[in-house]
């Protein structure tokens, strides 16, 4: 989020840091955290620490930042659509991947759910494709959504495609070729350095 504010390419910074010959461990940004462990278990540790008079502020800060990432993704979608002279309200948005991480069908605490809820609240017409997940349940609205089959037509009809989960069995080159706008939260399009995609891809 800081890199976005400063106009710096986050992934370029990580690649530059990776040139350090020792002592480097990469951590990659994403649309938020999911699963059963990371979103929940640190709070048990924080609670236990408070029982002993210690405030684990870093855990609380990390949770605060991570919980805001779906909102940041929605902001990127809004910015991208505005650049294409399109409002979020009424826009057709295709979410690519709703599992909380690649190549699994686990939906627990997936950031995709919050992103979908927020976009729908703004009036967007949202659909999703996930090769591992056929249907999702949105707790806030109580609605159920069934996934859509992926085709060139489905992609080209969307005003924006948002890559939330980077499943390996998706052809991101073909996806980007047919899309009007791509918001890539996983750097799945990193190999696409074609000038044809300038202004078409927004990366986290």
**What is the mean pLDDT of each successive set of 10 residues along the chain, which is 204 residues long?**
91 92 88 82 85 88 88 97 96 98 94 97 98 93 94 98 97 95 95 79 90
pLDDT at res. 141: 85
* Residue 98 included in any domain: yes
Give the count of beta carbons closer than 10 Å to the beta carbon of residue 52.
6
pLDDT at res. 195: 73
* Residue 16 included in any domain: no
* Residue 109 included in any domain: yes
| Domains held by the chain: number | 1
pLDDT at res. 40: 75
3-state secondary structure of 134: coil
What predicted TM-score, i.e. pTM, was given to this entire model?
A: 0.90
* Residue 80 included in any domain: yes
Q: Are 96 and 132 in contact (CB under 8 A)?
A: no
* Residue 49 included in any domain: no
* Residue 136 included in any domain: yes
What is the Cα–Cα distance from 135 to 62, expressed in whole angstroms? 30
* Residue 161 included in any domain: yes
Pairing relationship of beta strands 182-184 and 160-163 according to DSSP bridges? parallel
Torsion over CA: 39, 45, 50, 53 (sign): negative
DSSP 190: T
3-state secondary structure of 137: strand
* Residue 37 included in any domain: no
Domain of residue 142, CATH code:
3.40.50.720
pLDDT at res. 38: 75
pLDDT at res. 118: 97
Catalytic site positions: 37
Spatial CB neighbours of 108, under 8 Å, sequence gap ≥ 6? 34, 35, 36, 100
pLDDT at res. 183: 97
Domain that holds residue 77: 69-203
């Amino acid at each position: 989020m800081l890199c976005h504010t400063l106009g710096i390419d986050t992934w370029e910074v990580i690649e530059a840091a990776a040139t350090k010959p020792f002592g480097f461990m990469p951590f990659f940004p994403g649309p938020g955290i999911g699963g059963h462990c990371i979103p929940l278990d640190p709070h048990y540790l924080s609670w236990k620490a408070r029982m002993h008079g210690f405030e684990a502020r870093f855990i609380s800060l990390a949770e605060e930042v991570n919980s805001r990432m779906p909102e940041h993704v929605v902001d990127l979608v809004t910015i991208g659509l505005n650049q294409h002279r399109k409002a979020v309200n009424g826009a057709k948005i295709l979410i690519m991947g709703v599992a909380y991480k690649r190549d699994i069908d686990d939906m627990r605490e997936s950031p995709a759910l919050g992103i979908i809820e927020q976009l729908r609240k703004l009036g967007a017409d949202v659909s999703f494709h996930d090769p591992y997940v056929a249907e999702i349940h949105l707790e806030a609205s109580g609605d159920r959504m069934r996934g859509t089959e992926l085709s060139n037509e489905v992609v080209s009809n969307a005003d924006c495609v948002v890559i939330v989960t980077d499943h390996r069995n998706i052809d991101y080159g073909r996806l980007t070729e047919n899309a009007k706008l791509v918001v890539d939260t996983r750097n799945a399009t990193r190999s696409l350095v074609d000038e044809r995609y300038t202004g078409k891809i927004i990366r986290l």
